[in-house]
Amino acid sequence: MFKRFGTLLFYAYFGVFFLITLGLSSYFNAFHSTPPQPVPYPHVKHLQAGLQCLDCHQSANKGKYAGLPPLSFCMSCHQSVGTNLPGIKTLTEYWKTKKPVQWNRLHRIPDFVYFSHKRHVTAKTKNYPNGVPCQSCHGQVQNMPYPMRKSRSLSMGFCVGCHRQNNASLDCYTCHK
Amino acid sequence: MIDFFGRMVSQPLPIHLLVGGYLLIFVSVVHLAYMGLVLGSSLLALVFDFYEFTSPDRRWRKFARYLAELPLRSFWASVLLGLVPVLTAIALYQQILFPADPGPQWPPLPHQLTTKMMSVGLVLLVPGLLLLYFYKWSFKVRRTHFLTHFLSGLAGNGLALLAYLFIISGMALALDPERWPYLSQYWQSTYDMRAWIMYSFSQISRFLTFQVSAMAITGAAILWDFYRSDWKIEDDAGYVSLVRNFGAGLALANVMALPVMMYWNLITLQYINMSVQLYNLFLIGLLILLVVSIWLFKTITNPQRKGSVWPLLGLLVFLVVYNVGEAMARDQALLDYNNVLNAAAQTKLQTLQTANASATGGAGQEKPGGAQAGQQLYTDKGCSACHSVDGSRRIGPSWKGLYGHTVTVLANGKPETVTADDAYIKESILQPGAQVVQGFPNVMPAQQLSDAEITALIDYIKTLK
């Protein structure tokens, strides 16, 4: 009696952990994994071809948001370049049907955080005399194949660590307006 | 120590990173299992040793001595399984965390931090192991010099444990690139011990998981080893059942505690370490632990059942799964880092190939194959994005019929007429903005091509009549 009952207890104990893991796994899959994009855009190819971050994300040094280029900007090259690639065919399809590409956003900070790209890209500190490089928050995007991946947590600890190192303001009001 | 290991490793190719990862899993499994046994059994030996001293019982003394001797039967096995793997692991980490071009956006020198911590661990581990050997030997003089005997064991165990705090910190550091800049700042300016060792819960949970798995392995190893020896002849039934129940009980309790520790480990991992595969691997680990725990439970409830090697093997498989998970988390964390290393490796390979090509008679290779190679470069380097070869107009001028023809260019805003010869094309590739063909925008980025590649491209352009 006890032997059988005891074995069942083990199944129950490990079963609970099993279920928790399944739950955590599906939560991670739904909210934190790298999402697929409607068009398999590889950053590495475009930066190797000589483009710079600011060529496409044109308002990164002008405003709060870095911005995405309009489809017409992509098509200015891709009407003639790489037209036989499957990704470009998908892109052309969007262009012909006049639908915007709905990219899945990766880097999102909460609403209660005020963040300006311009303030960071144009900042001049001892460590970053030419402004904070894009890579310090977005990772080595110039080497990133498809899919684009979030490589820093962008948590408060991450922000504050860098602020402290660069003698940037640590006042709550700086970010939480 | 760092310079020594730094000289050993060179610019890694993707294959180095791959092999390094697999070797690291193998080394960690073998080493952590063995050192877990050393730490666990010596700690238990100390407990029973002290217990027997306060309430004398021959069985406890015998068990303590058995435990102290269990992992330390062969000195060279200890060196091979205890010390050599640490050296290997330091070298492998040094290779995996190879400093590529440290630019402004690059986290400063994490490999130095990992190597330093693991080297400190190694330095502590050597006297720790020697003291444990002395402890094992001093059972002979236990009656006359109890304090020396006991304290040497305690010091040995403590030193080895401290060594693992450092070694596991070094391993955990590789999982957390977000923290590298801040840690190296501490390292360079103020010597801050808290930041250096106890730098995250991820590291602490990893260290405690190591101890729990060490105890589980000790229990399983007792259960296996004790039944391997010829205990029937010399031991009484009481002692046999004591050892058997103690081993199985210890292993069972710690196997039950392992999932909890693993969860702590999992939830303290950084965002960038996580992947769905890691959770799946976790499920496999849970299944192994379930099988092992049921086996141990049946051993405890059924007095007729003997110990065997299966629980120990099961735990070793679990350790493999755990370390594969660790390697996967590390790969996730270092994905960015490895992308940069791979890019550097490609550049290095190209320079080597160019050097090779010019060394083995450039003339013979370039003349016939030049146009062919140029055509390859035309697609590979992305020239085709802007320059057509059929005369059609794209963002840049077409290459068809370009060579030898005169073109009107704007140099410093003034129109000039030049002939498209070798020098002109070379300049247009390296400094596109110097002379821009009239009617086309000045948008071409400067290209980083070697002389051999430029010659190949020119050869290709010559063929486009």
Do the Cβ atoms of B385 and A152 come within 8 Å?
A: no
Within-domain flag for A132: yes
HSE, CB side, 13 Å, CA atoms: give it for residue B258: 28
Q: Give the domain range for residue A176.
A: 61-67+107-177
Q: Based on the fold, state whether residues B157 and B108 are members of the same structural domain.
A: yes
Rg (CA), chain A: 23
Q: Is B17 helix (H, G, I), strand (E, B) or coil?
A: helix
Sequence-separated (6 or more) residues with CB below 8 Å from residue B409: B415, B416, B417, B418, B435, B436, B437, B438
Task: Choose, out of B202, B261, B290, the residue to mutate when testing the contact with A (most A CBs < 10 Å).
Answer: B290
What's the pLDDT score for residue B185? 62
Instruction: Point out the residue among A82, A130, A158 whose CB comes nearest to the CB of B178.
Output: A158
Give the helix ranges, DSSP H, for B97-236. 110-137, 146-173, 180-188, 193-196, 201-228, 231-234
**Cα–Cα distances in angstroms (integers) from residue B199 to residues B166, B182, B202, B230, B317, in the given order:** 11, 10, 8, 48, 30
Q: Based on the fold, state whether residues B380 and B328 are members of the same structural domain.
A: no
Within-domain flag for A83: no
Q: Based on the fold, state whether residues B40 and B168 are members of the same structural domain.
A: yes
Q: Based on the fold, state whether residues B374 and B266 are members of the same structural domain.
A: no
Amino acid in position A77: C
Within-domain flag for A145: yes
In degrees and rounded to multiples of 5, residue B447 shows phi and psi of -100, 145
What are residue B435's DSSP bridge partners? Answer: B411
Chain A partners of B336 at a C-beta cutoff of 8 Å? 139-140, 143-144, 151
Chain B partners of A144 at a C-beta cutoff of 8 Å? 336, 339
Token pair for residue A58? Answer: 């044109």
Within-domain flag for A46: no
Q: Is B208 helix (H, G, I), strand (E, B) or coil?
A: helix
Within-domain flag for B14: yes
Q: Based on the fold, state whether residues B317 and B429 are members of the same structural domain.
A: no
Within-domain flag for B360: no
Q: How many helices (H) and strands (E) does chain B have?
A: 18, 3
What's the pLDDT score for residue B365? 43
**Cα–Cα distances in angstroms (integers) from residue B179 to residues B209, B331, B392, B414, in the given order:** 22, 16, 52, 53
Within-domain flag for A27: yes
Within-domain flag for A123: yes
Chain B partners of A6 at a C-beta cutoff of 8 Å? 297, 301
The ipTM is 0.84
CA distance B365 to chain A (A): 27
Instruction: Point out the residue among B274, B289, B302 whose CB comes nearest to the CB of A14.
Output: B289
Within-domain flag for B74: yes
Residue ending a domain, choose from B327, B343, B359: B343
Per the structure, how many domains does chain A have? Answer: 2
HSE, CB side, 13 Å, CA atoms: give it for residue A106: 18
DSSP per-residue codes, B287-337? HHHHHHHHHHHHHHH-TTPPP-SHHHHHHHHHHHHHHHHHHHHHHHHTHHH
Question: What span, in angstroms and rounded, lies between the C-alpha atoms of B226 and B453?
Answer: 69
DSSP class of residue B344 equals H
Question: What span, in angstroms and rounded, lies between the C-alpha atoms of B451 and B427?
Answer: 11
Within-domain flag for B355: no
What's the pLDDT score for residue B193? 47
Q: Is the dihedral angle over the CA atoms A150, A155, A157, A162 positive or is it negative?
A: positive
**Cα–Cα distances in angstroms (integers) from residue A34 to residues A23, A37, A80, A109, B46, in the given order:** 18, 9, 30, 16, 50
Q: Based on the fold, state whether residues B87 and B153 are members of the same structural domain.
A: yes
Q: Based on the fold, state whether residues B376 and B304 are members of the same structural domain.
A: no
Do the Cβ atoms of A161 and B276 come within 8 Å?
A: no
Question: What span, in angstroms and rounded, lies between the C-alpha atoms of B84 and A41?
Answer: 46
B279 Cβ under 8 Å from any chain A Cβ: yes
Chain A partners of B340 at a C-beta cutoff of 8 Å? 140, 143
Within-domain flag for B265: yes
Do the Cβ atoms of B339 and A143 come within 8 Å?
A: yes
Chain A partners of B181 at a C-beta cutoff of 8 Å? 161-162, 165
Question: What span, in angstroms and rounded, lies between the C-alpha atoms of A61 and A123?
Answer: 10
Within-domain flag for B356: no
Strands B414-419 and B435-437, by their bridges, are unpaired
Question: What span, in angstroms and rounded, lies between the C-alpha atoms of A147 and A89?
Answer: 18
Q: Give the domain range for residue B421.
A: 368-463
Number of neighbours of residue B101 by Cβ within 10 angstroms: 10
Instruction: Point out the residue among B259, B280, B388 whose CB comes nearest to the CB of A17.
Output: B259
Contact A160, A175 (CB under 8 A): no
**Cα–Cα distances in angstroms (integers) from residue B376 to residues A83, B369, B445, in the given order:** 18, 11, 20
Tell which wins on pLDDT, B336 or A10.
Answer: A10
Question: What span, in angstroms and rounded, lies between the C-alpha atoms of B11 and B350?
Answer: 14
Q: Is A119 helix (H, G, I), strand (E, B) or coil?
A: helix
Per the structure, how many domains does chain B have? Answer: 2
Within-domain flag for A97: no
Tell which wins on pLDDT, A25 or B174.
Answer: A25
Q: Based on the fold, state whether residues B121 and B6 are members of the same structural domain.
A: yes
CA distance A35 to chain B (A): 12
Contact B68, B45 (CB under 8 A): yes
Do the Cβ atoms of A81 and B394 come within 8 Å?
A: yes
Chain A partners of B429 at a C-beta cutoff of 8 Å? none
Chain B partners of A127 at a C-beta cutoff of 8 Å? 104
Do the Cβ atoms of A127 and B263 come within 8 Å?
A: no
Do the Cβ atoms of A10 and B294 come within 8 Å?
A: yes
**Cα–Cα distances in angstroms (integers) from residue B302 to residues B237, B295, B299, B337, B449, in the given order:** 15, 11, 5, 53, 75
Q: Based on the fold, state whether residues B299 and B387 are members of the same structural domain.
A: no
**Which element (helix H / strand E) includes A165?**
helix A156-165
Q: Based on the fold, state whether residues B335 and B381 are members of the same structural domain.
A: no
Mean pLDDT by 10-residue block, N- to C-terminus, for chain B (465 residues)?
Answer: 68 84 93 95 94 84 91 92 93 83 54 83 95 94 90 96 92 82 60 53 89 96 84 70 90 95 88 88 95 92 85 96 93 84 81 77 50 77 76 77 82 79 83 79 72 83 81
Chain B partners of A7 at a C-beta cutoff of 8 Å? 294, 297-298
**Cα–Cα distances in angstroms (integers) from residue B2 to residues B5, B84, B87, B110, B286, in the given order:** 5, 16, 11, 12, 38
Amino acid in position B280: N
Within-domain flag for B359: no
What's the pLDDT score for residue B197? 52
User: Which residue, among B235, B221, B210, has the nearest Cα to B71 in the 3D structure?
Assistant: B221
A-B contacts (CB, under 8 Å) = 116
- CATH number for position B455: 1.10.760.10
Within-domain flag for A87: no
Q: Is the peptide bond before A147 cis (omega within 30 degrees of 0)?
A: yes
Tokens 């001293």 found at? B53
Within-domain flag for B100: yes
Sequence-separated (6 or more) residues with CB below 8 Å from residue A75: A91, A92, A95
Token pair for residue A98? Answer: 């006049």
Q: Based on the fold, state whether residues B373 and B298 are members of the same structural domain.
A: no
Q: Based on the fold, state whether residues B381 and B325 are members of the same structural domain.
A: no
Number of neighbours of residue A77 by Cβ within 10 angstroms: 17
Question: What span, in angstroms and rounded, lies between the C-alpha atoms of A15 and A20?
Answer: 9
Angle at B32 between CA B28 and CA B35, to 5 degrees: 145
